[in-house]
Amino acid sequence: MPSSQILIILIIVLSIGVLILFIMLNKKSKKINNLYKNNKILELSSEYSKDGLLVITKSKKIITYNNIAKELFSLYNDELNKAVILKMSDGKMESINTLVKANIERLEHFNSFSIEATLLKKRTEIPVRIIFETLSLSKKSSEYDIIIIINDISQELMVTKYKNRDLLTNLPNQSQAMLDIGHFINKMNLSSQKFGLVLLEIDHFSDIRAILGHTSTDLLIGKIVESLKYFAREIDSSVYQMTKHNFLLLIPDITTEVEVKDIIKIIRNDLSNLLNNEITHIDLTFSTGVSFFPLSGNGVDMLIDNTYKALAKAEEKGNGHIVIDYDMSLDKDKNHELKLFNQMNDALKNNQFELYYQPYIDMNSGSIEGAEALIRWKHPEKGLISPIDFIPLAEKTGFIIELGKFVIEEAIKQQKKWELFDFHKLPIAINLSLREIETGDMVDFVAKLLNKYQINPALLNFEITENIGMVNAEVAKREFIALKKLGVSLALDDFGTGYASFSYLKDFPLDILKIDLGFISNIVENEEHQKIVKAMVTLGHNFNLKVIAKGIEDKGTHDLIQSYKCDMAQGYYFSKPLPVFEFQELIRK
């Protein structure tokens, strides 16, 4: 036999051998993988022996399930039962098929998560927690099946319900009140809305209980609760039982002393009429303490504490008194803040705010290169109110969020007007506050306005201050990168006053650096400030940023800053902030 034929035979035999070996190894690998997967399923079956367990493929084909899953999901053959319906937490109805399909897609991004829903059976409703997890097909494989664990959480919800409710009246208790107030604060912080807390206490409760006895006192409490619940529904509020004889009303969108006193008067009249018909030999009165969010405090504990302090003051005054956290007798500053806060809200509704524009100038040519938009309040009685008098309170209360939105939209509308009248195309700089960044929806808001008014985003410049570092750095960075993607420019304002200046230059997508006026105002006499400002200008240029010096008040300061090769300057030496028509006249000159 020729050697060539022998070689061919050897190659064929060797190939067959390799193929057989591959098949054997593949079978062994599958056995190992199946063993790994089955062991994992056994572990889970043991861990969740009291829960439903279902294992499916990504194509929703059932691999295995236990008896509890079969009972809960009415399983048959190897498919999910389309007739099984769940009511989701938002009230929507979903078939088990639709629910599983949607959450299989989520597992592409998360290895494990859970949802809560109500399983609708023929004769009952079962609250369940459904846990979705990936089940790797082997230790090394990226492929996976899906584990679905179904917890019946009826008992858990029952415990939670009674933990957060009064056993006698079934009203939400103080624990639930604290939770709800916390949720309200988070919600209100995002929308700059407000709410009030009204704490009612039955005067001389121990004496009443001694006169009526235990049973009759419980009946009396029941009557009070029913009346408060009815009233709370009428004004879209919530009522809580803080102690045996203390009741708290959480009332949205209430800010004035007049409003709250009117509400308390109605409550007292209703209770008085109800109880006089039931019990004629007892004079029932209520002491009342009131607080407002955000002026009584920005946190749950502070709000509750101030409400109880107001109640304590009311009790000191005698039966049936009302004390509001902003009464003159408690705190004159708070009373002033409350009035100012309400006036700010009215001012925004009545178009009393307007934008003034202060130009910034090219240091070489002297031409106007843009303007900073600054809010001004034209009060109908007090005249022009300085931002110093209202911006701190706006920041404190969250009103700055609504005010900031007003400024952004007004600036964009002004850009559109200039475009329509073929006026000079000048960038407008807008200040952003910490509270605006914290909302998380600022970028969407700006994007919608840019789309609505169809202006060139390059004509908007958002200024952030160094105290922005008080926000989570990653959150701030993400927001500014998203803003930058819209096509706007970003400036770091008040440079040199914070602790994280250099990290901002490195991490944030900045275009402009604005040197704080604290370094500029006395620079001619202060050699240290001269060195610092000169270094700042050089630093900004090294990062390819335009540099603006704020607070130029005289020619000497101007000439010195110009000698440092600073790009632009802003200050009263050039112009004070001007109403839009005067600003336009300045540009025409």
For 313-328, what is the mean pLDDT?
76
Q: What does pLDDT average to over the chain?
A: 81
**Per-residue b or e along 106-144, where b marks 16 or more CB atoms closer than 10 Å to that residue's CB:** ebeeeeeeebebbbeeeeeeebbbbbbbbbbbbeeeeeb
Q: Return the top range by mean pLDDT from 3-12, 73-82, 92-101, 520-529.
A: 520-529
Domains of the chain: 48-158 (3.30.450.20), 166-330 (3.30.70.270), 347-588 (3.20.20.450)
Residue 20 has pLDDT above 70, yes or no: no
Lowest mean pLDDT among 242-246, 260-264, 510-514: 260-264
Query: For 278-287, 397-406, 418-427, which range has the lowest pLDDT when averaged over its residues?
Result: 278-287
Q: What is the mean pLDDT of residues 270-278?
A: 64
**369 and 361 Cβ atoms separated by less than 8 Å:** yes
Let me know: does 52 contact 86? Beta carbons within 8 Å: no
Residue type, 148: I
Q: Does 53 score more than 80 pLDDT?
A: yes
Do 564 and 536 form a contact (C-beta atoms < 8 A)? no
- Is the pLDDT assigned to residue 67 strictly greater than 80? yes
DSSP-derived secondary structure for 153-212: -HHHHHHHHHHTB-TTT--BBHHHHHHHHHHHHHHHHHHT--EEEEEEEETTHHHHHHHH
CB 79 within 8 A of CB 99: no
**Band of the pLDDT at 544, cuts 50, 70, 90?**
very high
pLDDT of residue 405: 93
Neighbours of 44 (CB within 10 A): 18
Share of the chain above pLDDT 70, in %: 81
> The tokens of 125 are what?
């409703």
pLDDT band at 489 (very low <50, low <70, confident <90, very high): very high
Q: Which pLDDT score is estimated for 316?
A: 82
Answer whether 0.75 is exceeded by the pTM.
Answer: no
| Three-state secondary structure call for residue 320 | coil
CB 251 within 8 A of CB 228: no
Asked if 120 and 85 count as a contact pair (C-beta separation under 8 A), the reply is: yes
